[in-house]
Structure 1
């Protein structure tokens, strides 16, 4: 009698969910509001699900900052949730200016997100 192990292995391999690569880039903000102490010192924290992909550098005294950093995550699946948090760096405690959150889809997508504290964040992502 022939073993069914190779056939079973083939079936199990086809049932696994394909993982893809997420790349987040081209982040820039406009018309950011800050507290009464002046213009914001803004940075962005990037998450995929509960995993932190890192944060950008701080752009000091700038209401319209841009960031050169790219963030890549190799353990992503379509419909995972990506979250971008934009903060104003302060002494002691950083203020959260807003959160952009969405389910990611295959392909390259550009989005603009309006922030709770005023202003907007524009970003691009690719899921391939």
Structure 2
């Protein structure tokens, strides 16, 4: 019986650091502020750990946008950092509205974060 304990411990430790599938979805923002130039043309860039997962489409002239895109990463580990950057698309360069950053946990979670230039971003993710 004592010889099984180290093997069981090794298996459990391996499961804890094993890679899992991350799915990010249901992105929506409220009361985005684009400054004095009117309503924002918002989009979101998505990162998991050191990987860039992509960006959403641009929602033109909408301070309460939502995005249908889903993002998936198969190399995510529990406790990796997920970062969502919300931008206002402009001529020349895009303005950063705010950043949401969170340590990823197993399971399904819904979060809301407050953006530096005003407004909120809500999203749901599953790691499993």
Q: Name the counterpart of 2:83.
A: 83
Task: Report Cα offsets for 1:13-52 as digits up to 9, x if no partner.
Answer: 8464311000000000000000211100000000001211
| 5+ long unaligned stretches in structure 2 | 1-6
CA distance in 2, matches of 1:27, 1:45: 11
The answer to whether residue 66 in structure 2 is matched with residue 30 in structure 1 is no
- The 1-side partners of 2:42 and 2:48 are apart by 20
Q: How many equivalent residue pairs?
A: 118
Which residue of structure 1 aligns with residue 4 of structure 2? none
Q: Give CA deviations for 1:92-122 in whole Å, capped at 9, x if unaligned.
A: 1000000000100000000000000000000
Partner of 2:40: 40
Larger Rg: 1
Provide TM-score, normalisation by structure 1.
0.88
1:41-82 Cα shifts (integer Å, max 9, x gaps): 000000001211000000000000000000000001000000
Q: Which residue of structure 2 lines up, in the alignment, with residue 4 of structure 1?
A: none
Quote the Cα distance in structure 2 between the aligned partners of 1:51 and 1:94. Answer: 21
| Partners of 2:52 and 2:46 in 1: CA distance | 6
Q: Give RMSD over aligned pairs.
A: 1.5
Give the 3-state SS of the residue equivalent to 1:116 in structure 2: coil
Q: State the TM-score, normalizing by the size of structure 2.
A: 0.88
**Mapped partners of 1:116, 1:70: distance in 2:** 24
Partner in structure 2 of residue 5 of structure 1: none
Matched position secondary structure for 2:46: strand
Between the aligned partners of 1:101 and 1:26, the Cα distance in structure 2 is 16
Give 1:72's aligned residue. 72
